[in-house]
Amino acid sequence: MLTAFAAAAADDKTHSVLIPELPDLIWGSLAFIIILVFFIKKGLPRINAALDARVEAIEGGIKRAEEAQAAANAALERYNAQLKEARVEAAAIRDQAREDAKQIRAELVEQAQADAARIITAAQAQIDVEVQSAFVALRSDVGAIAIDLASGVIGQSLADDKKASALVDQFLADLEASSKAAK
């Protein structure tokens, strides 16, 4: 079989491998044009439609992503604004609470000082009453002792209240005068 091909090649010396014969060129070009027209009419619109659908899907996805990003940014801005507002409000509440605490503390201190002053005044009054009571009791006891001593020294009874009172008053006055002179 190789010999048949070699013999055919030897007969056809004018035929070029790179340039086809004219009938082959015409029929090949005609077949190419028919296939090309068929591809342009039928295949190319389908490919373009598929590419257009793909482009629309990608652009739609990008647009949705941009919208979602814009919505997320807007939500973040709202959140940050609310957070800032909440922080300002919390600071105002803390400041108000501090002021209220200072006011309450001042009121309590004032009330405690008033109560302490009232207690001190009541205690001082009580002490004054007790001192006065003790002074009266001491005066009567000293008077009774002085009368007993005077009765023993004088040798007469000082049972008369007027005389005894006058004598006791004079003795106490002398006693006070001597204590003042000693100071």
Tokens representing 22? 């004219």
Q: Give the per-residue pLDDT at 176.
A: 80
Instruction: Give the pTM.
Output: 0.39
Q: Which residue has better confidence, 9 or 37?
A: 37
Q: Give the per-residue pLDDT at 143.
A: 73
CB 167 within 8 A of CB 147: yes
Measured distance between the N- and C-terminal CA atoms of the chain, rounded to whole angstroms: 166
pLDDT band at 3 (very low <50, low <70, confident <90, very high): low
CB 172 within 8 A of CB 143: yes
Q: Give the per-residue pLDDT at 14.
A: 67
CB 148 within 8 A of CB 154: no
pLDDT single digits (tens) 120-169 = 999 999 999 998 888 888 877 877 777 777 666 665 555 666 766 776 77
What are residue 160's phi and psi, to 5 degrees?
Answer: -70, 125
Whether 9 has a pLDDT exceeding 60, the answer reads no
Q: Give the per-residue pLDDT at 51.
A: 93
Q: Give the per-residue pLDDT at 20.
A: 82
Mean of pLDDT values over 92-114: 94
Whether 35 has a pLDDT exceeding 90, the answer reads yes
Instruction: Provide the CA 130 distance to its chain's centre, in angstroms.
Output: 58
pLDDT single digits (tens) 72-81 = 999 999 999 9
Q: Which residues, in sequence order, are CB contacts of 168 under 8 Å at separation 6+?
A: 142, 143, 146, 147
DSSP track, 63-77:
HHHHHHHHHHHHHHH
CB 172 within 8 A of CB 142: yes
Residue holding tokens 């029929």?
A: 27
Instruction: Provide the CA 91 distance to its chain's centre, in angstroms.
Output: 7
Tokens representing 48? 């373009």
Burial class (CB in 10 A: 0-12, 13-18, 19+), 168: buried
Q: Give the per-residue pLDDT at 28.
A: 92
CB 158 within 8 A of CB 167: yes
Average pLDDT in the chain: 84
Whether 4 has a pLDDT exceeding 70, the answer reads no
pLDDT band at 13 (very low <50, low <70, confident <90, very high): low
Q: Give the per-residue pLDDT at 157.
A: 59
Q: Give the per-residue pLDDT at 106.
A: 94
